[in-house]
Structure 1
Amino acid sequence: MTWSTFTRPSDFVDAAREMADSGRHTLAHLLAEEAADRTPDPEEAARIRAEFPGPSLRQEG
């Protein structure tokens, strides 16, 4: 799966789980943050963030 094929929040969550399973926890967290941001339902976004806890790893600017 490539970034260009990610069209739904669930695509990002699936990728986040794959990255977590392979030990790439930073990337997993970033993908989960993106999934949560793209999720219109606040409760679902909170559930995604809870599955991948921790402070934001994004660098704004």
Structure 2
Amino acid sequence: MRTFDRPSDYLDAAREMADSGRSTLARMLAEEAADRTPDPTEAARIRAEFPGRSLRSEG
């Protein structure tokens, strides 16, 4: 069973989803990875790797 304890876990899953053609799920997982990444530069790099509009509903 896969665990999601670190940003890299979400990022690995995002890449797997992108490779399998699930771009929406990949973007959502990448956003979660970026949110859990303490370094703002690295978080921006993650978001840039998975371009697209955020699907989150804030508020």
TM above 0.5, yes or no, is yes
Structure 1 stretches of 5 or more lacking a match? Answer: none
**2:33 counterpart residue number:** 35
| Aligned residue pairs, count | 59
Q: How does 1:1-61 map to 2 (within 5 A)?
A: 1-2=1-2, 5-61=3-59
Q: CA deviation at 1:54?
A: 1.3
Structure 2 stretches of 5 or more lacking a match? Answer: none
TM-score after normalising by structure 1 = 0.89
Which one has a larger percent helix, Structure 1 or Structure 2? 1
TM-score after normalising by structure 2 = 0.92
Runs of 4+ that moved beyond 4 A: none
Aligned residues: CA RMSD = 1.2
